[in-house]
Structure 1
Amino acid sequence: MSMLDKLKGMLKGHEDKASQGVDKAGDFVDGKTQGKYSSQVDTAQEKLKEQLGGTGQNPPPPPPPQA
């Protein structure tokens, strides 16, 4: 079992908090590097959120009922 699998198991049900933590960490790195690597940090944040199961975005609305 990989480290990422263990993290996913621990974070199950708390994807929104994990996403917030990823955002906070990325903002910290941006602050320390004075925004020099902001595009790379943003890419890393999105990929990490995908791996952890939360995109940090609202889920798509359900499809309309069939008539």
Structure 2
Amino acid sequence: MGFLDSLKAKLAPAKDKVSHFAQQHEGQIEHGLNKAAKAVDSKTKGKYSSRIESGTGKAKHALDRIAHMDGGHGGTGGPGTGTTPPPPPPAV
């Protein structure tokens, strides 16, 4: 077994725990992302609104991917997962 295989095997339980945590607290995490985005937008007086919205959308998409991981399938909704991937967030 190579180094990377060994590392992947050791990190698998942590990956599952993170996915489970994200599933349980997805709403709270999204609320925190929205609150942080609003605070930053307020402090910058809207100067970076489009970038903040873009970053928030990417973070929410990543959260969704993490929260809906399926065992060893990477959460992409690919073959064998029995689900379809969620649609991408709307472009800003």
Same fold (TM over 0.5): yes
Q: Post-superposition shift, 1:7?
A: 5.3
Structure 1's unaligned 5+ residue stretches are: 55-67
- Equivalent of residue 58 in structure 2, options 47, 56, 65: 47
Aligned CA distance change for structure 1 residues 37 and 12 (closer, same or farther; 3 Å): same
Q: Calculate the aligned-residue CA RMSD, in Å.
A: 2.5
Q: Which amino acid aligns with 1:44?
A: G
| Number of residue pairs aligned between Structure 1 and Structure 2 | 52
Structure 2's unaligned 5+ residue stretches are: 1-11, 66-92
TM-score, normalising length: structure 2: 0.47
Deviation >2 Å, runs of 4+: 5-12
- The structure, 1 or 2, with the larger RCO (C-alpha pairs under 8 Å, 6+ apart) is 1
Rg (Cα) greater in structure: 2
Identity across aligned pairs (percent)? Answer: 37
Q: Which amino acid aligns with 1:32?
A: K
